[in-house]
Amino acid sequence: MAKDASSAPLRFRKMHGLGNDFVVIDARAGGPRVTPSLARALGDRHRGVGFDQLAEIVTGAELGDPEADAGLIFWNADGSTAGACGNATRCVASLLLAETGRGAVAIRTEHGRLTGRLREDGLIEVNMGAPALDWASVPLAREVDTLALPLPGAPAAVSMGNPHCVFVVEDAEAVDLTARGPEIERHPLFPQRTNVEFISLIAPDRLRLRVWERGAGVTLACGSGACAAVVAAARLGVTGRRAVVELDGGALEIEWLPEDQGGGVLMAGPVATVFEAELSPAFLDALPAEA
Ligand SMILES: N[C@@H](CCC[C@H](N)C(=O)O)C(=O)O
């Protein structure tokens, strides 16, 4: 087992938002902490549990925000960390709403303090905060007028706390995601790699979106990707600031609030818990030591 983890049992919950699936570990009360090798081993769909992301719940204080209901650290299946994960934030918001019995909760992430609430229609909504559009925030390797990438079209680079490269295409269904995704994810213009989105217009307020996620690959849904897609579409005049985004796993409702309402991006959709379990000690014992 990794030398820095304790041998206390590690309980976890499997959840998903539209098939974007997560292992959720609550580390607020102590117990083993997530390391890159634990994330990779758990993320293995054959020898572990399998997930797109692992959401590690910590105290708000650990992330410098003691007033928040909790803090959240996101891990990709390849063991890398991410500054944002919209669907995992919605899943954890649903847990904290049940835990606190309140109508809204505050979650501290690397992208700031995000608020989550249960809407009357039963969907969990999170305000994902304002997008950043300048090259240094995304980040891009350098300032450019147009993103010159090995694909037709002029994509938009958007940060939702994590990097996104959004292509508007005629037909998102026709894109070879497994070929194009990794090529753009690791393009030298993106020093921290990038999530890759392909959107096409279905109706004036409806987009089709397919996503290749940094550190996870093809996903059934990506919340921050849906937010970035609507921000890019609204800026390009493809849609307004409010749209339904149809992903492989279902639909998310996205609204980019105006500046005078904070400029955040609201994202609403369903969440589900699949099971709760405890990792076998043998699994933890077999983890390679951290490099
Ligand atoms: N599934 C997520 C995004 C997860 C993080 C991403 N792969 C990254 O590395 O930035 C979502 O719902 O936003």
**pLDDT tens digits, residue range 232-269?**
999 999 999 999 999 999 999 999 999 999 999 999 99
pLDDT band at 36 (very low <50, low <70, confident <90, very high): very high
Whether the per-residue pLDDT at 4 is higher than 50: the answer is no
Annotated catalytic residues are 85, 222
Cα(221) to ligand 1 centroid in Å equals 9
Cα angle 117-118-121, degrees, rounded to a multiple of 5:
140
- Residue 204 exposed, middle or buried by CB count within 10 Å (0-12, 13-18, 19+): exposed
pLDDT band at 151 (very low <50, low <70, confident <90, very high): confident
Cα(218) to ligand 1 centroid in Å equals 11
Which residues have C-beta atoms less than 6 Å from ligand 1? 20, 52-53, 74, 76, 82, 84-87, 162, 195, 213-216, 219, 222-225
Quote the pLDDT of residue 214.
Answer: 98
Q: Can you give the pTM of this predicted structure?
A: 0.95
Tell me the three state secondary structure of residue 10.
coil
ipTM: 0.98
Mean pLDDT, rounded, for 185-199: 97
| 156-263 CATH choice from 3.30.9.10, 3.40.50.720, 3.10.310.10, 3.40.50.300 | 3.10.310.10
**Of 274, 281, 285, nearest to 21 (Cα)?**
274
Quote the pLDDT of residue 138.
Answer: 97
Other C-beta atoms closer than 10 Å to the C-beta of 134 total 11
Whether the per-residue pLDDT at 137 is higher than 70: the answer is yes
Question: How large a percentage of the chain has pLDDT more than 90?
Answer: 89
- By most ligand atoms within 8 Å of CB, the mutation choice from 195, 197, 211 for ligand 1 is 195
pLDDT band at 7 (very low <50, low <70, confident <90, very high): low
Q: Is 20 annotated as a binding residue?
A: yes
Q: Is 161 annotated as a binding residue?
A: no
* Stretch(es) of the chain classified as CATH 3.10.310.10: 11-124+272-285, 156-263
- Counting atoms of ligand 1 from 1, which one is nearest the CA of 87? 12
CA distance 220 to 212: 9
Cα(242) to ligand 1 centroid in Å equals 21
pLDDT band at 3 (very low <50, low <70, confident <90, very high): very low
Q: Is 127 annotated as a binding residue?
A: no
Annotation: CATH topology of 11-124+272-285: Diaminopimelate Epimerase; Chain A, domain 1 (3.10.310)
Mean pLDDT of the chain: 95
Q: Is 159 annotated as a binding residue?
A: no
